[in-house]
Amino acid sequence: MERIFHCFLLIHLFFSVIPECATASIVISSVPVYVTSKVDWWFALKHCRTHYSDLITIRNETESEELGGYKGWIGLHRQASDGVWKWSGGDENASNIIWANGEPHSGEDCVYKSYIRLKSGNCSHLKYMLCTEENLILVQEMKTWEEAYEHCEELSAEGSMRKYTLPNSFASPASNRKKIRESTTTNEVWIGLRFLADKWFWLNGKPVSISHLPNCPPPMQHCGALDTNDNKVKIMDCSEKRNFLCSMKP
């Protein structure tokens, strides 16, 4: 919320849209969280954003099937009956919504998952909620290692309990690696690996066991990145600008 307000101010001060406001980022991995408290849609939205990332997005049947039999509010709603359906995660108009037969109904502006398909419901009715927790994000902006570090930390501060940092590892499932490779605009992406005080360390303080790291790297090679082509750690000049990953702190 703070960031949106900030952008708003900038736009008004300079009368032009400042591209930096529109942070381009892609969720590399997320996990669904099923919350069994019965609440109205607005409360569900707030709860999911405070404790996790957002209400969940369900774009097709495959995604819905992966959630099994869970039912509850999801992140789809419209402002009024004549409005456009939108996903809570952005301004994007929803398309190809997998409605159940006979759905949606007028006067019902919020959406819940029922079995596989979706139904409209009265936003003030009480239902369980399906949240999503984004645990690995690729930020498609060019930043130095320090700037990237700060960006991840700032993601934590938007009225949410979840905290992010540069990742403390470079190991990731193959599906994540593929998504990172396909979405990054740079060959390397910064991770939370740093040479300081004569030692390599991960941001969480865990020991680094990567055999090819030099004990005494040249001054211009004190930061670690993931080379997205071969999925190996590459050491680089911290002042170079690259895309980067932010991962949720455990």
Ligand X SMILES: *[C@@H]1O[C@H](CO)[C@@H](O)[C@H](O)[C@H]1NC(C)=O
Interacting residue ranges for ligand X, rule: CB under 6 A = 59-60, 62-63, 84, 93, 107, 122, 124-125
Rounded Cα distance between 120 and 77, Å, is: 9
Q: Provide the H-helix boundaries in the chain.
A: 2-14, 41-51, 61-65, 145-155, 174-183
Two structure tokens written together for 58:
């369900």
Taking the complex as a whole, the smallest distance from the CB of residue 107 to ligand X amounts, in Å, to: 4
Q: Which lies closer to ligand X via its Cβ, residue 63 or residue 147?
A: 63
Based on CB atoms, which residue is closest to ligand X, 161 or 174?
Answer: 174
Q: Which residues pair with 202 in a beta bridge?
A: 193
How many Cβ atoms from other residues are within 10 Å of residue 150's Cβ?
13
We find the least distance from the C-beta atom of residue 122 to ligand X, in angstroms, to be 4
Structure tokens at 103: 């759905």
The dihedral sign for the CA sequence 179, 181, 182, 185? positive
CB closer to ligand X, 41 vs 164: 41
Residue 13 beta carbon to ligand X: minimum distance, rounded to whole angstroms: 25
How many CB atoms lie under 10 A from the CB of residue 159? 9
Terminal C-alpha separation, the chain: 23
Four-residue CA torsion sign, 199, 202, 204, 209:
negative
Nearer to ligand X, 107 or 218 (CB): 107
77 or 151: whose CB is closer to ligand X? 77
Least separation in angstroms between CB 172 and ligand X: 17
In whole angstroms, how far apart are CA 138 and each of 22, 152, 189, 213? 14, 10, 9, 24
The three-state (H, E, C) secondary structure of 58-119, written as one string? CCCHHHHHCCCCCCEEEEEECCCCCCCCEECCCCCECCCCCECCCCCCCCCCEEEECCCCEE
Task: Compare residues 76 and 193 and give the one whose CB is closer to ligand X.
Answer: 76
Minimum Å gap between C-beta 100 and ligand X is 18
Q: Smallest distance, Å, CB 86 to ligand X? A: 8
- Least Cβ distance, residue 234 to ligand X (angstroms): 29
